[in-house]
Chains A and B, each alone.
Chain A
Amino acid sequence: MSSFLFRKRASSSRCWGVLCRNPKAESQFGNLNKPPKPQNVTCAVEIPRILDPGSSSFSPKTSKTLSGSLQNIKNLIASGESFGLSSNLGVPVVKSLCGFHGGIATCSLVRFYGAQAAQEPSTADGLTVDRILNSEWSIMAEDESDWKSHAAAIAQSVHLIKKRLQWKKLLVRLDMLSVELNKPDLWNDPVHAGKISREHGSLMGKMKEVKAFEQELLEHVDMIKLAREENDAELESESMKALLEMRRTSKEKETQALLAGEQDPCSCYIEVQSGAGGTESNDWAAMVMQMYKMWAQRHGYKMTVVDEMPGEIAGIKRATIKVDGEYAFGYAKAEVGVHRLVRISPFDSNKRRHTSFAAVAVTPILGDVSAHVQINESDLRIERFRSGGSGGQHANTTDSAVRIVHIPTGITATCQNERSQHQNKASAMAVIQARVDQLEMARQTQKNAQYSQSLTDITWGSQIRSYVLQPYRMVKDLRTNYEVSDPDSVLEGDLDGFILSYLSASLDKDEDDR
């Protein structure tokens, strides 16, 4: 066992030396970056706090595996870290560094590392995840106890996950952000600095999580080889189990990697607007809205109607719901666009076939208040909606709908579903805030076009999906060609097939984006 321990240490420090996994490296890291003299009191106080979480944010996990204890490895696997979801690796570093409580001067004292800091992890005998992938070991069913098959399956997942995270672009962006963060004048603009450091933290977290997963895979491979050398059947079967466990987790991680966008974890608004065509169209818009309500319910999201403008005879002209819950935006963003219905209209006495359209828009609700665009009170026009008469003591009404117009952008929001005007105003204001934020993000997206991708710029674009009830029955996504022959189930909110296939198609299409 002792030789094993020794080798593990050796191989580990080779891979991770730069990221300072062992205490020695940590203190080096500290010394390296400690300024000759603290520039003010804040710095003196902040430095230990900064360096400590900074280095420990990823070392506890890996240093446990250093000891070679299988129990620790199992714990690690069982803890089921996921990409993007619990990116506790790295994020705290940046929070305590450059979050708004971090103090301004402190940040310039700390060096930020970009992607180059991470080297390719490998086994003791130089096997890397890429090599596993290239060896084209055959992947067999999970119950086949074959480490190569497991390893190949996991490596493939890692490959897919990297693709979904747009790995190469992520690394480039990370480098750019690090350069940015190391600029001495960064904190002259604290808002910008906050944004940069948040993004850096989140990307760093994702990057490290993938790296840690790769590392874990290679460590299990190391151990299996070792167990074979030393005829340690128990160790071998433990490691095999661990690999199998990893293989299973990797599937979840693949899905989670679909939702790695910055706003994906947010709650969101879904707005449905009926196209031209009167009652038939309004009815279709109501059906679409109902579909999202049921979808939200299936996911256990909290759903509230913010605004609803009924059609004259049936259906809705427009409605907005708020969907509260983790990753609501990440999923719902796949629904943005125009949805088309073909059916024999129940509103047509001649029983003719009609085609109607409904447009869907989705807006994330940023959880981080500091990321909100500042809205000036004077830029708003607030109106009582549907008011008439003298009002005041003359009128008793439970209708206190409010419309808010954000004059510079022309963005309008109405809310009438709360029971007080104050709350209607607050809800409408929240919609305005989310849309203004979204507009700003779209602007930023255009600026950083080489990294960000089109998912976030929401347009009312072209048709994305077609629902045919007559003469045949089918729902088909025009972007992915994913189709289902049971429109009822789709209209009852069974949308995940469409959503996931769209998300993977849009993220996986770049063939060599690694």
Chain B
Amino acid sequence: MKLSLTPKLSTFLKPSLASTPLRRSLCSSSPSPPPPPISLKPQTPLFLRPPIHSATSSDLQQWQDWAKTLASSVGSTFANSDNGPDSTLLLRELNWLVDDAVQQGIENGQRKIRLRVSLEELYLLWKQRIEERKPFQYIVGCEHWRELVLCVQEGVLIPRPETELIVDLVGDVVKGEEGLREGLWADLGTGSGAIAIGIARVLGTGGGRVIATDLSPTAISVAGFNVERYGLQDVVELRKGSWFDPLKDVEGKLAGFVSNPPYIPSDNISGLQAEVGRHEPRVALDGGVDGMDDLLHLCKGAASILKPGGFFAFETNGEKQCKYLVEYMENEARGSFCNLSIIPDFAGIHRFVTGFHK
């Protein structure tokens, strides 16, 4: 029977519940004044640094040739071993690295090229990219996501292309629904702030606001930087804490909430693509035994945090988790939700579960 899920459920809810209260008491901040004191200063991404370095065009060319050779030597070895990047992709990344590192527009007739990072560092960075498999986005300190350029750094998950769609889902839902568009939203586990900023922009100037939470202080500080860069301090409020903990004061009031919580089963972590497994924060990826710890926790809390008619959207690991969640919401939270749907990403993988609080 389907209800056989229940015992399992309680067992893997425990770890995440148990781990939170300790941190919670320290971190959950009062709703105002925003933003909470940010102790960590986020790193400035390459493209925003001042062009205080310079190199001759031939030295730069030499670096580029070296970097190309290194990239080409990869061939498809990474792709074959763990679905990593092949040379074609690495060569494109190299062009983007040049885009970000070289000050554009004044090269004409100038023998010295102005750089935002020293040539020595460029050698180091590309070595890290290829030899350590450091994600390109950590190398340049940013990720282009939707129409945004978000700063990222080690300690913060690099937003994925699939996740862009959550913003479109919200966009569709608030279209013509003033009650939702002008309401209060939340992005739980905001990481770089990507979804929260995306939502803030689709809500527009109608008075809608977004609360973005995360357990990780690095995430909170990076998200704060990004929110500020897009001038959304008055729209997006950052709160540090575990899942619903920092949202006590808005219980039953949210017009919508979304989350892309960690959802990879613990067993899979060790086999991840090197860029992910070796460099991205485990707390952003590991979703417990079945990868469902956090998702189920969020589902459980959805009914009480949302106001009637409120919308939710979760990203999942795929079809299995989607089905599981929908079943759970239909059976366990009987009567609380309606219009549950499973929505695929552009690769055709069942990626999102959405629905409304009745």
Where the two chains meet, the residues of A that have a C-beta atom closer than 8 Å to any C-beta of B are 310, 382-384, 387-400, 402, 417-423
B347–A399 contact, CB under 8 A?
A: no
Taken together as a complex, chains A and B put the C-alpha atoms of A396 and B136 apart, in Å, by 9
A392–B164 contact, CB under 8 A?
A: no
B317–A390 contact, CB under 8 A?
A: yes
Chain B interfacial residues counted at CB < 8 A: 45
B44 interfacial by beta-carbon distance below 8 Å: no
- By a CB distance below 8 angstroms, the chain A residues around B89 are 397-399
A396–B262 contact, CB under 8 A?
A: no
A388–B83 contact, CB under 8 A?
A: yes
| Given A382-B346, A393-B264, A398-B96, A420:B146 Cβ within 8 A | yes
List the 4 shortest-distance A-B pairs measured between CB atoms, nearest first: A419-B144, A421-B161, A396-B275, A387-B347
With beta carbons under 8 angstroms apart, the residue of A394, A398, A402, A420 that contacts B264 is A394
B185 interfacial by beta-carbon distance below 8 Å: no
- By a CB distance below 8 angstroms, the chain B residues around A420 are 143-148, 161, 164
With beta carbons under 8 angstroms apart, the residue of B88, B144, B345 that contacts A310 is B88
Shortest CB-to-CB span from B2 to chain A, Å, is 25
- By a CB distance below 8 angstroms, the chain B residues around A388 are 83
Describe A's contact surface by its main secondary structure.
loop
Where the two chains meet, the residues of B that have a C-beta atom closer than 8 Å to any C-beta of A are 83, 85, 88-89, 92-93, 96, 135-137, 143-148, 157-158, 160-164, 260, 262-264, 268, 272-273, 275-276, 280, 284-285, 315-318, 345-349, 351
- By a CB distance below 8 angstroms, the chain B residues around A395 are 83, 160, 273, 276
- By a CB distance below 8 angstroms, the chain B residues around A389 are 83
- By a CB distance below 8 angstroms, the chain A residues around B145 are 420, 422
- By a CB distance below 8 angstroms, the chain B residues around A391 are 160, 162, 345, 347, 349, 351
**Best-buried of A400, A417, A419 by chain B (most CB within 10 Å):** A419
- By a CB distance below 8 angstroms, the chain B residues around A421 are 161, 164, 346
| Given A384-B346, A396-B135, A423:B160 Cβ within 8 A | no
A392–B144 contact, CB under 8 A?
A: no
Shortest CB-to-CB span from B323 to chain A, Å, is 16
A393–B285 contact, CB under 8 A?
A: yes
B263–A383 contact, CB under 8 A?
A: no
**Best-buried of B136, B144, B158, B163 by chain A (most CB within 10 Å):** B144
B172 nearest CB neighbor, chain A only: A377
B346–A402 contact, CB under 8 A?
A: yes
Shortest CB-to-CB span from A378 to chain B, Å, is 13
Shortest CB-to-CB span from A306 to chain B, Å, is 14
A399 nearest CB neighbor, chain B only: B89
A392–B315 contact, CB under 8 A?
A: yes
Shortest CB-to-CB span from A446 to chain B, Å, is 36
| Given A384-B346, A398-B136, A392:B162 Cβ within 8 A | yes
